[in-house]
């Protein structure tokens, strides 16, 4: 004869069953939460341009972007990254343009924009949020001139003064060029050409608006055009700036 289970046996089995279900549920919940945290920190930030590859567009439609308090309306063919062309707020915005007229990307200039020749005419521009506003002249005196071999420098072509960074400087392998334009300093760091750096760049950083840093880089071979480049970059970014937003 089959022995029937007593009610006490059934209740005991239920208690045992529920006793391991609760910890198992907690472990599963913790695993899900940990996975979400990992995804949050490890999945690439869509606003970051560090790992994204350029994806040029010949589109002429305007993209509305914002960095801090600065609003910009930028033709799509000036934006090298697809994520930027979705618009909206960003911590940084990259542009590019081609000398001498600062035109954006087009199908006919694909080779120029995607190349990296030593005399490339493409200018790369970056606008970022910057909490500490330090002007070029202040940066020159407080930082750069403390890192060069000779603070007197020497005269260079195109009305520039050249300084060489010391080998123990954090800027070793670079030269410093300083010019004067409209009564203000134009300070550019240029990588020295070498076997490892066959296509060196020059880079300038300037405060564009409160809390906004404008930087741009161009090929060292174009250093003689520094005035035209400086003026062209300022005019280009100003043309993107929504009226009343700068300053």
**Backbone conformation region of residue 102, classed left if phi is above 0, alpha if psi is from -120 to 50, else beta:** left
Q: Which residue has the tokens 């100003």?
A: 238
Long-range contacts of 177-186 (CB under 8 A, 24+ apart): 177/202, 177/223, 177/226, 178/140, 178/153, 179/226, 179/227, 181/227, 181/230, 181/231, 184/136, 184/137, 185/136, 185/137, 185/140, 186/136, 186/226, 186/227, 186/230
pLDDT computed for residue 225 by the predictor: 97
pLDDT computed for residue 38 by the predictor: 38
- State the Cα–Cα distance between residues 165 and 180, nearest whole angstrom: 20
Cβ pair 204, 222 in contact under 8 A: no
Q: Is the model's pLDDT at 223 over the cut of 90? A: yes
CA 145 to chain centre: 26
The CATH T-level fold of domain 62-240 is Alpha-D-Glucose-1,6-Bisphosphate; Chain A, domain 4 (3.30.530)
Relative to beta strand 201-209, strand 70-75 is: unpaired
pLDDT computed for residue 10 by the predictor: 47
pLDDT computed for residue 33 by the predictor: 53
3-state helix, strand, coil in the chain (%, to 5): 35, 30, 35
Cβ pair 78, 104 in contact under 8 A: yes
Cβ pair 28, 34 in contact under 8 A: no
pLDDT computed for residue 102 by the predictor: 98
Q: Which residue has the tokens 């300037």?
A: 206
| Average pLDDT over the chain, rounded to an integer | 85
Confidence class of residue 52 from pLDDT cuts 50, 70 and 90? confident
Using the 8-state DSSP alphabet, how is residue 44 labeled?
Answer: P
| Mean pLDDT on 112-129 | 95
Higher pLDDT, 81 or 7: 81
Relative to beta strand 62-67, strand 88-90 is: parallel
């Amino acid at each position: 004869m089959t022995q029937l289970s007593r009610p006490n046996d059934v209740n005991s089995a239920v208690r045992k069953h529920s006793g391991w279900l609760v910890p198992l549920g907690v472990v599963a919940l913790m695993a899900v939460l940990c996975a979400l945290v990992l995804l949050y920190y490890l999945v690439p930030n869509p606003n970051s341009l560090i790992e994204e590859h350029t994806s040029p567009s010949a589109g002429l439609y305007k993209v509305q972007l914002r960095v801090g308090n600065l609003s910009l309306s930028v033709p799509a063919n000036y934006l090298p990254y697809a994520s930027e062309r979705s618009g909206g707020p960003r911590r940084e915005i990259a542009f590019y343009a081609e000398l001498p007229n600062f035109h954006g990307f087009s199908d006919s200039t694909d080779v120029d924009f995607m190349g990296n020749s030593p005399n490339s005419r493409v200018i790369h521009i970056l606008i970022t949020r910057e909490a500490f506003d330090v002007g070029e002249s202040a940066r020159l005196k407080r930082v750069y001139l403390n890192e060069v071999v000779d603070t007197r420098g020497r005269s260079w072509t195109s009305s520039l003064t050249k300084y060489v960074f010391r080998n123990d400087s954090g800027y070793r392998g670079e030269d410093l060029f300083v010019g004067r334009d409209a009564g203000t300093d134009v300070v550019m760091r240029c990588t020295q050409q070498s076997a490892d750096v066959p296509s060196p760049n020059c880079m300038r950083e300037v405060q564009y608006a409160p809390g906004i840093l404008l930087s741009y880089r161009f090929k060292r071979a174009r250093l003689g055009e520094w005035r035209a480049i400086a003026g062209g970059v300022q005019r280009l970014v100003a043309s993107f700036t929504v009226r009343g937003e700068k300053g």
